[in-house]
C-alpha cells in the first residue's frame, strides 16, 4: 500500500515536472513570439517613415510624385518654384550632392543664406512633438532626412 501511494506520488511528481517544463516551453515560445513581433513591429515603424512614404506624404505636393517639381502646390501657390529633384546629380557634374540635399531639407542652417526660402524647414517640422530638440528627437529627424536623401538619390535621372 505504502509503496503504491509513494509510487503514485512519484508518478504525480514526475507528471508535474513534465507539465512544468511544458509550461516553461510555453513561456519560452511566448517569449520568442513576442520578440519576433517586436522586431517585425519596429521594422514596420521604420518602414512607415521610409524615405519613399515620407516623400509621398509631405514632399510630393510641391515637388511632384516623380520629383520633377510639378506638384499641385506649384499651381496654387503663386510664384512657387519647387526644384526638380531628379536632376540634382546632373546639375552637379554627375555627382549626387548628398550633403547639400541634406542641408536643404533640414533647412536650419540656411535661415540667413536664403532669405526667400519657401521650402519648409523639415529639421523643425520633423521634431518629436512635446519633446523637441532632445537627443532622441534629433536622432529621429536625422534618420528621416537621411532616408529622404537616399530616396531622392534613387530618383536621379541617369
Ligand atoms: C511648400 C512646398 C514644398 C514642400 C512641401 C517641400 N518643398 Fe522642397 N522646395 C520647395 C521650393 C519652393 C524649393 C526651392 C527653394 C526655395 O524656394 O526655398 C525647394 C527646394 C528643395 C531642395 C533643394 C534643391 C536644390 O536645388 O538644392 C530639396 C533637396 C528639397 N526641396 C527637398 C524636399 C523634400 C525632401 C521635401 C519633403 C520632406 C520637400 N522638399 C518639401 C518647396 C517645397
The mean pLDDT values, 10 residues at a time, for the chain of 158 residues are 54 54 62 50 52 97 97 93 97 96 92 74 96 96 98 94
Q: How far apart are CA 47 and CA 21, in angstroms?
A: 38
Query: What is the per-residue DSSP string for 101-136?
Result: HHHHHH-GGGTTT-TT--S--HHHHTSPTTSTTSHH
The structure's pTM equals 0.75
Region of 103 please: left (phi>0), alpha (psi -120 to 50) or beta. alpha
pLDDT given at position 19: 58
Q: How far apart are CA 132 and CA 109, in angstroms?
A: 17
pLDDT given at position 116: 75
* Ligand 1 contacts CB of residue 81 (under 6 A): yes
User: Could you tell me the distance, in angstroms and rounded to a whole number, from the CA of residue 82 to the centre of ligand 1?
Assistant: 6
How many CA atoms are closer than 13 Å to the CA of 118, on its beta-carbon side?
A: 11
Helices (H) and strands (E) in the chain, counts: 7, 0
User: Could you tell me the distance, in angstroms and rounded to a whole number, from the CA of residue 135 to the centre of ligand 1?
Assistant: 25
Amino acid at each position: 500500500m505504502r509503496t503504491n501511494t509513494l509510487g503514485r506520488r512519484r508518478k504525480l511528481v514526475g507528471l508535474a515536472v513534465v507539465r512544468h517544463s511544458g509550461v516553461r516551453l510555453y513561456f519560452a515560445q511566448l517569449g520568442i513570439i513576442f520578440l519576433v513581433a517586436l522586431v517585425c513591429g519596429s521594422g514596420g515603424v521604420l518602414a512607415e517613415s521610409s524615405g519613399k512614404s515620407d516623400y509621398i506624404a509631405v514632399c510630393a505636393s510641391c515637388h511632384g510624385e516623380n520629383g520633377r517639381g510639378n506638384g499641385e502646390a506649384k499651381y496654387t501657390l503663386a510664384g512657387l518654384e519647387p526644384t526638380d529633384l531628379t536632376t540634382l546629380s546632373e546639375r552637379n557634374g554627375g555627382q549626387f550632392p548628398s550633403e547639400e540635399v541634406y542641408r536643404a531639407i533640414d533647412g536650419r542652417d540656411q535661415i540667413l543664406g536664403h532669405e526667400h526660402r519657401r521650402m519648409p524647414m523639415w529639421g523643425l517640422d520633423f521634431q518629436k512633438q512635446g519633446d523637441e530638440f532632445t537627443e532622441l528627437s534629433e536622432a529621429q529627424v536625422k534618420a528621416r532626412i537621411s532616408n529622404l536623401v537616399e530616396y531622392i538619390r534613387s530618383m536621379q535621372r541617369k
